[in-house]
């Protein structure tokens, strides 16, 4: 009898993490690898945030905190949601967790019963369906289309809703497409949900500060306040503040649900790291002057990658509004052969060929429940991106 539970057998390892790990190992083994697989800012955490952490250590801020997070950080998160979106939450309606991923994990484990359905528009971040499955729920994947900007339409949402639907997951800007919903698009989805009062919304807004070309990021409760009583608005510090390793995520939700999430967290990890929480207060309440230059750099990188990929005749790539990913279509290359004799039968073969034959690590579209595409993270410096794009161009040109 296996020591591993049947529950764990329902899920696969995170493919974004697996690919990033593989690239790291190949590089350690001496291979020349350009890694565009990690969904992680390459910027340093701003100095004033690091200083706050050092001060917290020196001040002895090194003990347990409230399970739901320090009052200061919950107040800071509430103030941030107010400043960014005009939302009105009290600290009792906020929980701090060990990264946005733990917020999502807690939400599904705390709310799903066997057979409850969770609507996940694809392309979608790798971990949503696996966390739902781990929590005994049923992921219902609704593919969106490239020509509709990779966004869920009100029509597709209505068709997917059933009496068993418990959650709709929104992620804007989206990992892996960078697609972001306008206020009007979110409002239209909210109007469908008005007819389904048993359905809750989990909105993952972790990339909301990373938007370009004057796009205004918004979140569903802002345009549909009537959904406040059945929405979890999730955000975190990893992406906008370049703090992936600090592991701070937060969520705003009605107090009853926050209490349930806190109960679950109290029986697993307890509070998020006290030092990272102190740094989080500095991040959310301190100067955001680091942001405009960071955004300008991300935009320049996005434009560089789009311009380079446009040189590949058979590759299509939509222009994303936000995040730091592009998601090109590679269906025109399927069935072709690499110079080393590898037949590209799928996006996974394409990505494997690119890694093995050109030393560029990216992630296959099927990891995001959307085969026929691949994800490039442009959270890398421009020289690396330029070189990686040259290799991708060469890879495609040499296919026969
Ligand atoms: N969210 C990032 C990514 O998509 C980090 C890795 C992960 O947790 O999936 O690459």
Q: Where does residue 1 rank: exposed (0-12), middle (13-18), buried (19+ CB within 10 A)?
A: exposed
Q: Of the residues 130, 173, 175, which should be mutated to test ligand 1's pocket, given the most ligand atoms within 8 Å of the CB?
A: 175
Average pLDDT estimate for 74-82: 98
Place of tokens 């690919």: 19
Fold observed for domain 49-285: 3.40.640
Torsion angle defined by CA atoms of residues 204, 209, 213 and 218, in that order, rounded to the nearest 10 degrees: 50
Average pLDDT over residues 231-249: 98
Per-residue pLDDT at 163: 98
**Whether the CB of 142 sits within 6 Å of ligand 1:** no
DSSP string, 220-248: HHHH-GGGGGGEEEEEESTTTTT-GGG--
Is the torsion defined by CA of 118, 366, 159, 187 positive or negative? positive
Cβ atoms of residues 376 and 362 within 8 Å:
yes
List every span in the chain annotated with CATH 3.90.1150.10: 6-44+290-397
Q: For position 20, what pLDDT does the model report?
A: 87
Q: How many CB atoms lie within 10 A of CB 256?
A: 9
Checking if the pLDDT of 320 tops 90, the result is: yes
Predicted local distance difference test score (pLDDT) of residue 38: 86
**Residues 6 or more apart in contact with residue 15 via CB below 8 angstroms:** 126, 363, 364, 367
Give, rounded to a whole angstrom, the gap between the first and last alpha carbons of the chain.
48
Q: Rounded to whole angstroms, how far apart are CA atoms 302 and 77?
A: 29
- Domain 6-44+290-397 in this protein, CATH class: alpha beta
Query: How many C-beta atoms surround the C-beta of residue 286 within 10 A?
Result: 17
State the Cα–Cα distance between residues 174 and 305, nearest whole angstrom.
Answer: 18
Atom of ligand 1 nearest to the CA of 39: 10
Low-confidence winner among 11-20, 113-122, 278-287 (lowest mean pLDDT) = 11-20
Kindly report the number of other CB atoms within 10 A of residue 29's CB atom.
Answer: 8
Residue 332: which residues within 8 A CB-CB, separation 6 or more? 314, 315
Q: Is the pLDDT of residue 83 over 90?
A: yes
Residue that wins the pLDDT comparison between 20 and 201: 201
Q: How confident is the model at residue 18 (pLDDT cuts 50, 70, 90)?
A: confident
Q: Is the CB of 126 under 6 A from ligand 1?
A: yes
CATH 3.40.640.10 segments of the chain: 49-285
Q: In this prediction, what percent of the chain has a pLDDT beyond 90?
A: 95
350-368 burial: b if 16+ Cβ within 10 Å, else e:
bbbbbbebbbbbbbbbbbb
Q: What is the pLDDT of residues 269-310, one digit of tens each?
A: 999 999 999 999 999 999 999 999 999 999 999 999 999 999
Q: Across all residues in the chain, what is the average pLDDT?
A: 97
pLDDT of residue 265: 98
Question: Span 137-146, mean pLDDT?
Answer: 97
The atom number, within ligand 1, closest to the CA of 37 reads 10
Q: Which residue has the tokens 């975190």?
A: 236
Which residue is closest in CA terms to ligand 1's atom 8? 17
């Amino acid at each position: 009898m296996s020591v591993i539970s049947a529950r764990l057998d329902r899920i696969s390892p995170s493919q974004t993490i697996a690919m990033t790990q593989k690239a790291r190992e190949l590089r350690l083994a001496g291979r020349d690898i350009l890694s565009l697989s990690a969904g992680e800012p390459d910027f340093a955490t701003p100095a004033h945030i690091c200083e706050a952490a050092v001060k917290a250590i020196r001040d002895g801020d090194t003990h347990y905190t409230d399970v739901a997070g320090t009052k200061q950080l919950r107040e800071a998160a509430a103030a941030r949601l107010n400043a960014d979106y005009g939302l009105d939450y009290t600290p009792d309606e906020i929980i701090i967790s060990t990264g946005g991923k733990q917020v999502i994990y807690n939400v599904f484990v705390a709310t799903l019963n066997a057979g409850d359905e969770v609507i996940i528009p694809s392309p979608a971040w790798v971990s949503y369906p696996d966390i739902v499955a781990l929590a005994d729920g049923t992921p219902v994947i609704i593919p969106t289309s490239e020509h509709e900007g990779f966004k869920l339409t009100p029509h597709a949402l209505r068709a997917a809703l059933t009496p068993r639907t418990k959650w709709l997951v929104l992620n804007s800007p989206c990992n892996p497409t960078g697609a972001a919903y306008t206020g009007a698009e979110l409002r239209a989805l909210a109007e469908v949900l008005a007819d389904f009062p048993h359905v809750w919304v989990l909105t993952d807004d972790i990339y909301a500060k990373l938007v370009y070309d004057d796009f205004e990021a918004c979140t569903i409760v802002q345009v549909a306040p009537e959904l406040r009583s059945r929405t979890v608005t999730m955000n975190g510090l990893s992406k906008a503040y370049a703090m992936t390793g600090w592991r701070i995520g937060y969520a705003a939700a009605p107090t009853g649900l926050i209490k349930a999430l806190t109960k679950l967290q109290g029986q697993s990890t307890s509070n998020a790291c006290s030092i990272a929480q102190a740094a989080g207060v500095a991040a959310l309440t301190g100067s955001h002057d680091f942001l405009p230059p960071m955004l300008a750099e991300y935009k320049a990188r996005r434009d560089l990658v789009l311009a380079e990929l446009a040189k590949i005749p058979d590759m299509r790539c939509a222009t994303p509004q936000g995040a730091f990913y592009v998601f090109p279509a590679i269906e025109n290359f399927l069935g072709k052969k690499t110079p080393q004799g590898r037949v590209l039968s799928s996006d996974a073969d394409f990505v494997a060929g690119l890694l093995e034959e050109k030393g560029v690590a990216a992630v296959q579209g099927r990891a995001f429940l959307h085969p026929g595409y691949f994800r490039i993270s442009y959270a890398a410096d421009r020289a690396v991106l330029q070189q990686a794009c040259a290799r991708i161009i060469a890879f495609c040109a040499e296919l026969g």
